[in-house]
Amino acid sequence: MDDYRKDLVRSTFSKNPDAYVTSETHANGIDLELITEWLDPSPEDIGLDIATGGGHVVKHLAPRIKTLFATDLTKQMLNNTAVHLNDLTNVYYVVADAEELPFLEGTFDIVTCRIAPHHFPNPETFIKEASRVLKTGGAFIMIDNVAPENPNGDTFMNTFEAKRDPSHVRALPINEWKQYVHASRLQLLKSNSRKKTLTFRDWVTRTLDDKNQLKEVENYMLGADPQLKQDFKIMEEEGNLLSFAIDEWMVLCKKI
């Protein structure tokens, strides 16, 4: 099942890698500025960005450190990102599985992963791997969409995400992430939650181009009960879904 899900990731992200370079959700956000602010990196640091995607973390972080390894499961995505960031001469691109990183223990001063872990079949293994390749005292930043703690919101969010993106596995609630962090020699130093609004068309067309599938996602979300619509700030006009909001969690940890 894990291999099947990872093949779906490769297939999904190979189709339109440019969409993740230009995506409003991925290319913008206060979290990108906070990464360097929270890390306060040294020019001698060696970093790793897991599941690089469109390379937005790389673009912000690489100029501030000595060397950065950008990894992704999808070779086509990584090739495309390397072309867009060809002016960065201290970045090495490596095809790698977030749950089985091809690096020795204690290699990196910094490890980052942004808006990707909801695609990982085994999030606990990913956290253990991130911790394993970090030096003692090294910093780990993770940013991802998170599900509500209540079961109805969790189910609703993960259902519409899976309908829109077959490679989606699960957005976890924050409490689950905290359990994995604490079990992996990582000390939570700082965290931040924010509500981010997504334009429905931009969001849904990054992974779907079939009109029937698009409509199925839209109808599912518009058919939610009033409380869920309020929680996810679903905005509609004349039967069309305009936008909605989900929660994003950013966490800074230290390897102990």
Residues 169, 30, 64, 180: is their CA dihedral positive or negative?
Answer: negative
* pLDDT range class, residue 6, cuts 50, 70, 90: confident
Q: Please say if the pLDDT value at position 158 is more than 50.
A: yes
What pTM did the predictor assign? 0.90
Distances, alpha carbon 16 to alpha carbons 54, 84, 85, 87, 96, in Å: 11, 14, 17, 22, 19
Q: Tokens 């005292």 — which residue? A: 137
Q: Please say if the pLDDT value at position 24 is more than 80.
A: no
Express each pLDDT in 184-219 by its tens digit.
999 999 999 999 999 999 999 988 989 999 999 999
Residue 30's pLDDT is 79
131-154 average pLDDT score? 98
- Percent above pLDDT 70 for the chain: 89
Domain ranges within the chain, ordered by starting residue:
2-149+168-197+248-255
The letter for the amino acid at 141 is: I
Query: What does the mean pLDDT of the chain come to?
Result: 92
What CATH number does the domain located at 2-149+168-197+248-255 have? Answer: 3.40.50.150
**Burial readout 194-222 (b: 16 or more C-beta within 10 A, e: otherwise):** eebebebeebbebbbeeeeebeebbeebe
Residue 186's pLDDT is 98
Q: Please say if the pLDDT value at position 97 is more than 60.
A: yes
For residue 86, what are the contacts with CB-CB under 8 A and spacing of at least 6?
none
